Chain A
Amino acid sequence: MESIGVLMACPMNSYLEQQLENRFKLFRFWTVPDKSSFLASHKDSIQAVVGNAFAGADAMLIEALPKLEIVASFSVGLDKIDLAKCKEKGIRVTNTPDVLTEDVADLAIGLMLAVLRKLCESDRFVRSGKWKSGQYVLTTKFTGKRVGIIGLGRIGMAIAKRAEAFSCPISYYSRTEKPEIKYKYYPSVVELAANCDILVVACALTTETHHVINREVIDALGPKGVLINIGRGPHVDEPELVSALVEHRLGGAGLDVFEHEPEVPEELFGLDNVVLLPHVGSGTVETRQAMADLVIGNLEAHFLKKPLLTPVV
């Protein structure tokens, strides 16, 4: 398969890069000085694109690669891939579901505990020496708090299962109610926000869910409410969120994703009720390896004309 051209959209994982290099003819898109002339000269060589949460395959890239057969994403989210265009051209698309579900759910709970129990702030307090002068850090109980989940897919369900172990009542919003699920359903995100203490974004990013967390939802969540985002940055109207936090109209936030990564609004840096992470939801050694193996497995299956492991399109 060494003659098959694979275009890697951006740096994402050195193990994956090595594996792709060993098996295919790998093109590293980020090292190319002039992307449009590169595409013009290599358009007939590239049969696969490997993307992730930061860069994938938009309509322009797809149009530029007439021999493109498959887009394999090193992520479960598909918002960087023009799925309609892929369907139209018969291009296969795969992602990495399931292998990262637990890590993302673990991190969601980790963020909830970090925000409510001020773990980062407490650690900073000890390191600064302030404990010696008799000061204290007062926090808020997590057990029993109402958790509202937007999107009850694999990740949303895994978050619910964990939060239940802390006796947290679970409620959710989803495109349609799931009658087999015992959690309380709310038909709108605003109503969900008004009835929970911690609101978690766990749905896919689509045109419908863009800025699903807006001023109205933030107001409904309120000055004692906490927002946790382990979805995608564009789920949240970021300037609205920042002003709500700065003006104390929202109680706190735990954010793993942002609208313009790796740029993070600096106004959030000094807030001790806000925990900021550099998009590490699936960022463990074990899970990134499993995701890489899935990408390779899907590409090999496709070119060997076998069934894809985790097809989306």
Chain B
Amino acid sequence: MAVAAENQSQPPQNDLPYVLILKPPTAFSIFGDHFFHSPKFQFLKPFESPLPLPQFLLTHAQSVQAILTSASGSVTADTIRLLPRLGLVVTTSQGINHIDLSECRRRGIAVAGAGTIFSTDCADSAVGLLLDVLRKVSAANRYVKQGLWSTQGNYPLGYKVLGGKQVGIVGLGSIGTEVAKRLEAFPCSISYNSRSKKPSVPYTFYPNVVELAVNCDALIICCALTDETHHLIGKEVLSALGKDGVIINIARGPIIDEKELVQCLIKREIRGAGLDVFEHEPDVPVELLALDNVVMSPHNAVCTTESLEELRKTVVGNFEAFFSNEPLLTPVPLDDRPHSSVAR
């Protein structure tokens, strides 16, 4: 990405409305910064400017009508207050925990996210991680690729994945539902915890996560990160899950008390974990790097070529709709609590 600081002092190239990019999304690193290009708007890039962000925002306050952000780019009340003409925040994520929704509601600013375009990829990641942990796919692949099969003999046995087992899903929104649909074919029994029971689903509901954990062999975290779900998975839930239990997290790192999880894994108080997200990405607890019963991925459960193309259409489509006074493609309702249980 070429830094072009001198461009910041030039007058607007044309009459196109401005979208401020708070933090370059992952898609830019992969595809280049023309990925969300449109002939109907142009981007302001504070990260290419020598000015600190607040000053940059003050300088361009009157030009910014919309923001593009990603899961790691918080849209705080302070930022919003510096932009009097802001009318729309679009995030490249399905989760919206990083946006101050009450400030948006107060100011009448619309918010749009990825909708449900990532749900199937997230569900595929969750199932893939579960299979990997129980059948030791990554660990055994390492073993073979180090040439150890011919020198050290057979690899230790794994564990039967799901036949006859119970899987508990925390958060039965779009992603949780896709996970359940997949796991039912293995076959296994699905149970769940959600803010409220869903009468139309055939799965067993548990009113709290501890009871869910007591009654299942694997826990899959698919809920949104909110004040209520912060550190939802702690010592009590992990003990309830037990030494044959496995936990998979493809939602948000802070839903799990990471220090507790690390201790449980080291002491073999649970069987294993599959983690796409962490409390302080991209930092990962160094203790996990030495463990064979953990499978990790760099928050890339949605990073498929296909999903990123869907994302491109959704992001561009939302901005184009906004600037043409048309309905947004994937609006996030701001009237009540955050959109039910979507995690990304």
**Residues of A participating in the B interface, judged by any CB pair closer than 8 Å:** 102-103, 106-107, 109-111, 113-114, 117, 119-120, 122-127, 131-132, 134-144, 161-162, 164-167, 261-264, 266, 268-270, 275-278, 280, 283-288
Given contacts A114-B138, A122-B298, contact A106 B121 (CB under 8 A): no
- Which of B127, B142, B284 counts the most A-chain CB atoms under 10 A from its CB? B127
Report how far A126 CA is from B274 CA in the complex, Å: 12
Do residues B297 and A122 form an inter-chain contact, with CB atoms below 8 A? Answer: yes
Smallest CB separation, B15 vs chain A (Å): 34
Do residues A137 and B300 form an inter-chain contact, with CB atoms below 8 A? Answer: yes
**5 A-B pairs whose Cβ atoms sit less than 8 Å apart in the complex:** A114-B137, A114-B138, A126-B297, A132-B283, A143-B123
Report how far A117 CA is from B295 CA in the complex, Å: 13
Do residues A277 and B121 form an inter-chain contact, with CB atoms below 8 A? Answer: no
From the candidates A113, A277, A284, A286, name the one contacting B128 in the complex (CB within 8 A).
Answer: A113
Report how far A276 CA is from B29 CA in the complex, Å: 30
Residues of B within 8 A of A165 (CB): 181-185
**Residues of B participating in the A interface, judged by any CB pair closer than 8 Å:** 26, 29-30, 120-121, 123-125, 127-129, 131-132, 134-138, 140-145, 147, 149-150, 153-155, 157-163, 181-186, 281-284, 289, 295-298, 300, 303-308
Do residues B120 and A275 form an inter-chain contact, with CB atoms below 8 A? Answer: no
| CB-based nearest A residue for B124 | A142
Residues of A within 8 A of B300 (CB): 122, 136-139
Do residues A132 and B282 form an inter-chain contact, with CB atoms below 8 A? Answer: yes
| CB-based nearest A residue for B278 | A126
Residues of A within 8 A of B141 (CB): 114, 120, 275-277
From the candidates B134, B136, B289, name the one contacting A127 in the complex (CB within 8 A).
Answer: B289
Smallest CB separation, B102 vs chain A (Å): 32
Report how far A292 CA is from B154 CA in the complex, Å: 17
Given contacts A136-B29, A138-B305, A166-B124, contact A269 B147 (CB under 8 A): yes
Given contacts A110-B137, A138-B304, A275-B137, contact A119 B160 (CB under 8 A): no
Do residues B185 and A164 form an inter-chain contact, with CB atoms below 8 A? Answer: yes
Residues of A within 8 A of B158 (CB): 280, 283-285
Do residues B29 and A280 form an inter-chain contact, with CB atoms below 8 A? Answer: no
Given contacts A131-B284, A278-B154, contact A119 B185 (CB under 8 A): no
Do residues B128 and A110 form an inter-chain contact, with CB atoms below 8 A? Answer: yes
Given contacts A122-B297, A143-B120, contact A284 B154 (CB under 8 A): no
Residues of B within 8 A of A134 (CB): 29, 282
Residues of A within 8 A of B143 (CB): 278
Do residues A278 and B296 form an inter-chain contact, with CB atoms below 8 A? Answer: no
From the candidates A106, A136, A141, A166, name the one contacting B298 in the complex (CB within 8 A).
Answer: A136
Report how far A150 CA is from B250 CA in the complex, Å: 33
Do residues A107 and B135 form an inter-chain contact, with CB atoms below 8 A? Answer: yes
Residues of A within 8 A of B181 (CB): 165
Report how far A166 CA is from B126 CA in the complex, Å: 12
Do residues A110 and B303 form an inter-chain contact, with CB atoms below 8 A? Answer: no
| CB-based nearest A residue for B295 | A123
Do residues A278 and B182 form an inter-chain contact, with CB atoms below 8 A? Answer: no
| CB-based nearest B residue for A126 | B296
Report how far A60 CA is from B278 CA in the complex, Å: 58
Given contacts A126-B296, A285-B159, contact A136 B135 (CB under 8 A): no
Do residues A126 and B298 form an inter-chain contact, with CB atoms below 8 A? Answer: yes
Residues of B within 8 A of A114 (CB): 128, 131-132, 137-138, 141
| CB-based nearest B residue for A139 | B304
Report how far A5 CA is from B183 CA in the complex, Å: 45
| CB-based nearest A residue for B24 | A134
| CB-based nearest A residue for B276 | A122
Do residues A285 and B304 form an inter-chain contact, with CB atoms below 8 A? Answer: no
From the candidates A106, A127, A266, name the one contacting B186 in the complex (CB within 8 A).
Answer: A106
Given contacts A102-B163, A139-B304, A277-B144, contact A285 B132 (CB under 8 A): no
From the candidates B120, B136, B183, name the one contacting A141 in the complex (CB within 8 A).
Answer: B120
Report how far A79 CA is from B163 CA in the complex, Å: 27
| CB-based nearest A residue for B275 | A126
Smallest CB separation, A72 vs chain B (Å): 20
| CB-based nearest B residue for A276 | B144
Report how far A269 CA is from B147 CA in the complex, Å: 8
Do residues B304 and A284 form an inter-chain contact, with CB atoms below 8 A? Answer: no
Do residues B307 and A141 form an inter-chain contact, with CB atoms below 8 A? Answer: yes
| CB-based nearest A residue for B183 | A165
Residues of B within 8 A of A125 (CB): 297-298
Report how far A155 CA is from B144 CA in the complex, Å: 24
Report how far A119 CA is from B153 CA in the complex, Å: 24
By Cβ-Cβ distance, the 4 closest A-B pairs, closest first, are A113-B128, A110-B131, A165-B185, A122-B297
From the candidates A120, A268, A284, name the one contacting B138 in the complex (CB within 8 A).
Answer: A120
Report how far A134 CA is from B135 CA in the complex, Å: 30
